[in-house]
Amino acid sequence: MNIDSSLQSKRILSIDILRGIVMIIMALDHTRDFFHIGAMTANPLDPQTTTGILFFTRWITHFCAPIFVFLSGLSAYLSSQHKTPAKASIFLFKRGTWLIVVEIVIISLGLTFNPFYNFVILQVIWVIGWSMILLGLMSRISHKAVLIIGLIIIFGHNIFNLFPPPEGEGLALLLKVFFTAFGTVVPLNQDHLLGVFYAILPWTGIMFLGYGIGAWYKQGFSTEIRKQNLMITGSLTIFLFFFLRFINLYGDPAPRKEYDDLFKNLLSFFNVSKYPPSLQYTAMTIGTAMLFLAFTEKMSTWFSRITSVYGAVPFFYYVIHFYLLHTILVIAFYATGFTNEQIVQVPFWFRPSDFGFSLTMVYVIWIAVIIALYLPCKWFKKYKETHKQWWLRYV
């Protein structure tokens, strides 16, 4: 979520830099989904079958969604400082509802290119929307309540992994949608399916945490104390990840596996669960984000100037990058000899399971897409800074 338009001239550069890096890396994962030859048939995180570079290509993108959600909560706090509690709550509710509609209507179409919406995919924008709605409600109680509830969710939701799932379609489905989700496909009718791939509440906990530390960024807060808080909290969070991963008892639905090979054991150690975001996964990613924010508070380099452009307009970037990638996919589909009879695929049209290129080509396409999106993002960033239309607060 972007900071409110009234704050455009006072943007916090470290937040935009981190969010920009996240947006750039995120596109790598989606490029791999669309263009890598093994994306539809193999698990890049399986230590038994993957390679080091393929594992890294998928693993590094694990940092994107949680940091994006975390920064959305942080930005929501900053935006709320220039509104009454009631207005801030209403805005979060409206923007959350809008994002859910965007996920279903715009993002799902960009992902699938299926104009009939036979398979609707619910992912990160879906959970950001629901999390904003819940944040709008809980923030009316108090800032402390939001932080405490967020921590309870983050630390406690993996307790469901210790018990067998409930029987019965109604309760089991609700539990999946709110706590576990991944692989949950809900048939709406004979021709339409709903794929829920992001559980709501574990991601809500991450957004609540971001909202909680937003107080360190409010006007007048000491820069040195903020940096110290981020360094201490980030270091302890990273330590928690290593501790939980070593003892291998709680905090991830897929416990660490032991192999006879040192390299495979290393991959297994870092192969934490994203769906839903486990405590170990959250500690690994959010701890890193806090340390990054601590050390980039005053960064001013060519790298920071470029990445902050993407980070200043994440919603705009997120939407158009899907349509650009899928348009390139359509061109590659026909250029490599596929025909109209092979267009209809599940979940992505124009994406047969035997289509694809090497990982090297995936990186080439990814870099080309990032470069192509720079000027549009720079233009829209400037447009938002110089215009005050109400709808700009929602994009």
Span 24-40, pLDDT tens digits: 999 999 999 999 999 99
Question: What SS3 class is residue 259?
Answer: coil
Helices (H), 248-358: 262-270, 279-295, 302-312, 314-335
Give this prediction's pTM: 0.94
**Residue 252 confidence (pLDDT):** 96
The 10 Å Cβ neighbour count of residue 305 is 14
Residue 204 has pLDDT above 70, yes or no: yes
**Residue 162 confidence (pLDDT):** 83
Distance, in Å, from the CA atom of 199 to the CA atom of 174, rounded to the nearest integer, reads 10
Average pLDDT over residues 175-191: 87
Distance, in Å, from the CA atom of 351 to the CA atom of 40, rounded to the nearest integer, reads 9
pLDDT digits (tens, 9 = 90+) for 279-320: 999 999 999 999 999 999 889 899 999 999 999 999 999 999
Cβ partners under 8 Å of residue 211, min gap 6:
73, 74, 76, 77, 135, 139, 143, 146, 147, 150
Distance, in Å, from the CA atom of 158 to the CA atom of 38, rounded to the nearest integer, reads 31
pLDDT digits (tens, 9 = 90+) for 109-143: 999 999 999 999 999 999 999 999 999 999 999 99
Distance, in Å, from the CA atom of 309 to the CA atom of 385, rounded to the nearest integer, reads 12
Side-chain-side CA neighbours of residue 56 (13 Å) = 6
pLDDT digits (tens, 9 = 90+) for 35-54: 999 999 999 999 999 999 99
**Residue 360 confidence (pLDDT):** 98
- Average model confidence (pLDDT) for the chain? 93
Average pLDDT over residues 269-278: 96
Cβ partners under 8 Å of residue 138, min gap 6:
145, 146, 149, 208
pLDDT digits (tens, 9 = 90+) for 336-390: 999 999 999 988 999 999 999 999 999 999 999 999 999 999 999 999 999 989 8
Q: In what order do the strands lie in the sheet with 193-196?
A: 119-122, 193-196, 184-187
Radius of gyration for the alpha carbons in the chain, expressed in angstroms and rounded? 21
**Does residue 166 have a cis peptide bond before it, meaning omega lies within 30 degrees of 0?**
no
Q: Give the largest CA-CA distance in the chain.
A: 62
Distance, in Å, from the CA atom of 276 to the CA atom of 44, rounded to the nearest integer, reads 18
pLDDT bracket for residue 175 (50, 70, 90): confident
Q: Which amino acid is at 86?
A: A
Only one residue has tokens 């945490």, namely 209
Q: Is 220 left (phi over 0), alpha (psi -120 to 50) or beta?
A: left
